Structure 1
């Protein structure tokens, strides 16, 4: 007996798909094929079995390494680059690597995000809305065709944005699980929160700031944007590392956790990734470091410096251009009850702030590099 089920977005929600396949096997339905185009899974009725499924994405063929075969893994089905593995062992000690699957879903998530941003930013909806508002204010009749265009435009924007958000969120959950990038929380202690704007642009100063709180008995629990949450503990010796990587490898988080580091923050992207790590040590012990090689430390500092300097220059240029167009082109007072009159002071303050941050980035880099000499 054959039964078919359609699961549209299964390739993005890998964890739930594997659980679903295992549940089907417990009910006596065993996977025999997958149609990648119609998203249809075909099952054959048999004896109920307790099976663990593992989905892989591999462009180098579907040959199963002998080490995995010895651990009980076998091929259930393959279609193109997709491989469905099964294991009926009660205790599984070794799981197949899924680096290629993480990279595939990451690419899809980033590409869809770019497409959705481009679609929304180039949409004619704002122009149409301004046109209708102008017609209403002039007492003119609004065409029904324009209303339908607005409805369709809004529906299109919602659909594209929703799909992009869904793909990115499911990919991120899968990546966190596969790369062991979960944040290590602190279960007890009174919480306090501190705000630190643009902390990513001064990683060394942020590190010293965090270590100062540790000496006072406050350990960092997590970071959301510019809000740092601390837990009240005993005064501790905690070494923090604030890192920037152009591209995080799949083993990056697991490797450092095995070395005793606790992950306190990681940005949502593994490309251009910022992270904060913490490690306890005793007073008589050597202060731990991510790397004891000075050349490697210099490279890490230079990497973050280039990224932060580039972003600050871009923001200064963008704010300068916006300030110029709103000040010299507009024929009205600097401050006025208008959109431009409100924006000009804000742009000016933003420009001053990022000039200040630009100088701080340069000074911080000079001090950090000098300390390594």
Structure 2
């Protein structure tokens, strides 16, 4: 029996395409006999496959359990290798009623995205630190001499530069591919629920619209909840939130009672979203990030009813608020340190020595904008911690 080998780099970033490709190979008379996930190597034998539909899953436990409902629907394990498994079904895709769970796969993709974001943040921080040391020297009125020293290991230097460039390109590709893959996996399970008409309480709209901008509401989610509820009570119904989460569009309506809830999730969790929807909550916004996701939910209620809460567990609320405070502290603190080092070491002494208005235009701009930027980031951190202490009290 002859075997055919294929190398498919980044196949795990395109799960559905890989599944379709395995299915097409099956139609051509090839059966998947072996695959090496880490090496992106797939091996097929030239024999007819009984399966028509394929699915690939990722399981950290390496057990790959198959629920009875999936077995009854015709699913079986075709091939598995450590955390990865390929499932096959003898039915056509449109005849299959169940699907393989993707939760672990999404978690794995989110961790890879976080790794690449950390890499790029490190690169930005490193470049910014070097720039903060060189720019003041360049802008200084003092004369200096630059001496270029040829490296005795110039081959190694160029090689490492090429490697870093290659890694950066792979990182950019990975982030783009994983973002698209996250969108495809989301669409696979459920259609978008953004701003569907509420089934709890009909809303009569007048056509008169108003737009409001809210920047930085993530640092104080409880306040945006109160603001949105007050808008509903004053006769303005939320109909759209832009992808960036800063532009809120309202339309004039009857005065209604709506409970709003803003949720922060460490990573995208479609199961939790489905649970909230089944409980009668309507999702009106979800951020695009899969590893730091924000969502806004609402539910109509009447004066005779108690105001609903999407989560009445105080301990879990406190954990979520602590996560918000920690994440923004870790994100913004290095920026404050970098800007502060640059400002207090170079800009401020220079301004005090020469006088603010004696500086060049770019020096005056930097001397003004750096403390403003530090203040904005510091205020954001303080707002996040203030939110935590409000939840804890």
Do Structure 1 and Structure 2 share a fold, with TM-score over 0.5?
A: yes
Give the structure 1 partner of residue 193 of structure 2.
184
Q: In the alignment, is the contact (CA less than 8 A) between 1:193 and 1:227 conserved in 2?
A: no
Shift of 1:29: 3.5
- Give the total of aligned pairs: 363
Question: SS of the residue aligned with 2:32?
Answer: strand
Shift of 1:37: 5.2
Question: SS of the residue aligned with 1:328?
Answer: helix
Equivalent position to 2:171, from 164, 168, 190 = 164
What is the alpha-carbon distance in structure 1 between the residues aligned to residue 389 and residue 79 of structure 2?
57
Question: SS of the residue aligned with 1:54?
Answer: strand
Shift of 1:65: 4.3
Give the structure 2 partner of residue 260 of structure 1.
280
Go from structure 1 to structure 2 and tell me whether the alpha carbon gap of 1:88 and 1:144 turns closer, same or farther (over 3 Å shift). farther
Shift of 1:99: 2.9
1:153-203 Cα distance to aligned partner (Å, 9 max, x none): 886565333322332333344445556697533489788653222111121
Q: Which has the higher contact order (CA 8 A, sep 6+)?
A: 2
Give the structure 2 partner of residue 332 of structure 1.
354
What is the alpha-carbon distance in structure 2 between the residues aligned to residue 55 and residue 258 of structure 1?
28
Go from structure 1 to structure 2 and tell me whether the alpha carbon gap of 1:116 and 1:198 turns closer, same or farther (over 3 Å shift). closer
- Provide the TM-score with structure 2 as the length reference: 0.71
Shift of 1:364: 6.1
Q: In the alignment, is the contact (CA less than 8 A) between 1:18 and 1:55 conserved in 2?
A: yes
Shift of 1:74: 0.9
Go from structure 1 to structure 2 and tell me whether the alpha carbon gap of 1:288 and 1:27 turns closer, same or farther (over 3 Å shift). farther
Give the structure 1 partner of residue 222 of structure 2.
204
Go from structure 1 to structure 2 and tell me whether the alpha carbon gap of 1:13 and 1:166 turns closer, same or farther (over 3 Å shift). same
Equivalent position to 2:238, from 205, 212, 219 = 219
Shift of 1:205: 1.5
Indicate yes or no: 2:56 matched with 1:55: yes
Give the structure 1 partner of residue 264 of structure 2.
244
Equivalent position to 1:75, from 77, 85, 95 = 77
Go from structure 1 to structure 2 and tell me whether the alpha carbon gap of 1:75 and 1:305 turns closer, same or farther (over 3 Å shift). closer
What is the alpha-carbon distance in structure 2 between the residues aligned to residue 316 and residue 5 of structure 1?
45
Structure 1 stretch displaced more, 56-65 or 173-182:
173-182
In the alignment, structure 1 segments of 5+ residues that lack a partner are: none
Q: In the alignment, is the contact (CA less than 8 A) between 2:214 and 2:248 conserved in 1?
A: no
Shift of 1:246: 4.8
Give the structure 2 partner of residue 109 of structure 1.
113
What is the alpha-carbon distance in structure 1 between the residues aligned to residue 326 and residue 272 of structure 2?
20
1:131-158 Cα distance to aligned partner (Å, 9 max, x none): 9xx9xxx9x9x9999xx99998886565
Structure 1 stretch displaced more, 104-113 or 79-88:
104-113
Indicate yes or no: 2:299 matched with 1:279: yes
1:302-357 Cα distance to aligned partner (Å, 9 max, x none): 43674488469838953554432344332433353244321111123334545655
Indicate yes or no: 2:34 matched with 1:33: yes
Shift of 1:265: 1.9
Q: In the alignment, is the contact (CA less than 8 A) between 1:176 and 1:182 conserved in 2?
A: no
When the two chains are superposed, the root-mean-square deviation of aligned CA atoms in Å is 4.7
